[in-house]
Structure 1
Amino acid sequence: MGVQKRHIAKTITWRLVGTIDTILLSWLISGDPTTGLKIGFAEVVTKMILYYFHEKAWYNFKIENSNKRHIVKTVTWRFVGTMDTMLLAWIISGDSIVGLQIGFTEVITKMLLYYFHERVWYRVNYGLDKRNRAKKWRRTS
Structure 2
Amino acid sequence: MQDQSRKRHIAKAITWRIVGTIDTIVLSWIITGNPLTGLKIGLAEVVSKMVLYYIHERVWFKINLSKKGIVRESRKRHIAKTFTWRGVGTLDTMLLSWLVTGNPLTGLKIGLSELLTKMILYYLHERVWYRTNYGLKNRVK
* TM-score of the aligned structures, taking structure 2 as reference length: 0.90
Distance 1:111 1:33 in 2: 23
Shift of 1:6: 0.1
Deviation per residue, 1:49-74 (Å, 9 max, x gap): 00000000001223956111011100
Tell me, what secondary structure is at the counterpart of 2:63? coil
Q: Does 1:24 align with 2:32?
A: no
Aligned length: 132
Matched, 1:96 2:104: yes
CA distance, structure 2, for counterparts of residue 65 and residue 2 of structure 1:
16
C-alpha distance in 1 between matches for 2:137 and 2:73: 21
Find out whether 1:81 has 2:81 as its counterpart.
no
Matched letter for residue 74 of structure 1: T
TM-score normalised by the chain length of structure 1: 0.90
Matched residue, 2:80: 72
Q: State the partner residue of 2:123.
A: 115
Q: Tell me: CA distance 1:94–1:73, structure 2 relative to 1, closer, same or farther (3 Å).
A: same
- Give % identity: 64
Select the structure that is richer in helix.
1
Q: Aligned letter for 2:84? A: T
* Distance in 1, Cα, partners of 2:19 & 2:110: 16
Residues 74-126 of structure 1 show CA distances to partners (whole Å, capped at 9, x for unaligned) of 00000000000000000101111110000000011000000000011011100
Q: In the TM superposition, what is the alpha-carbon distance from 1:27 to its structure 2 partner? A: 0.3
